[in-house]
Amino acid sequence: MLKIAIFVVHVIACLVLIVSILMQSGKSAGLSGAIAGGAETFFGKNKSKTMDALFNRITKISAVLFIITSLVLTYLLNVLNM
């Protein structure tokens, strides 16, 4: 029962990690970002930065959860032979 619960948490962490990475904007916009970047308003810049910070935080938390559940599942499957 413990193995199934950890496996479900592991799958949810995988899906959240994938979605949060795909929702983040690219860090390097290149020349097109330099040209089009001046057209953004002050509020538009701050909104995108807060959303990027939120997705960054979600990515970090789900990555740590993914690593922990991976290690626990490996321990349960290999060491305890459950």
Q: How far apart are the first and last CA of the chain?
A: 10
Residue type, 76: L
d(CA 8, CA 77): 15
Per residue of the chain (82 residues), give pLDDT as tens.
Answer: 888 999 999 999 999 999 999 988 776 655 555 555 545 555 555 666 788 888 899 999 999 999 999 999 999 888 887 6
DSSP assignments along 38-73, one per residue = GGS-HHHHHHHHHHHHHHHHHHHHHHHHHHHHHHHH
What's the pTM? 0.70
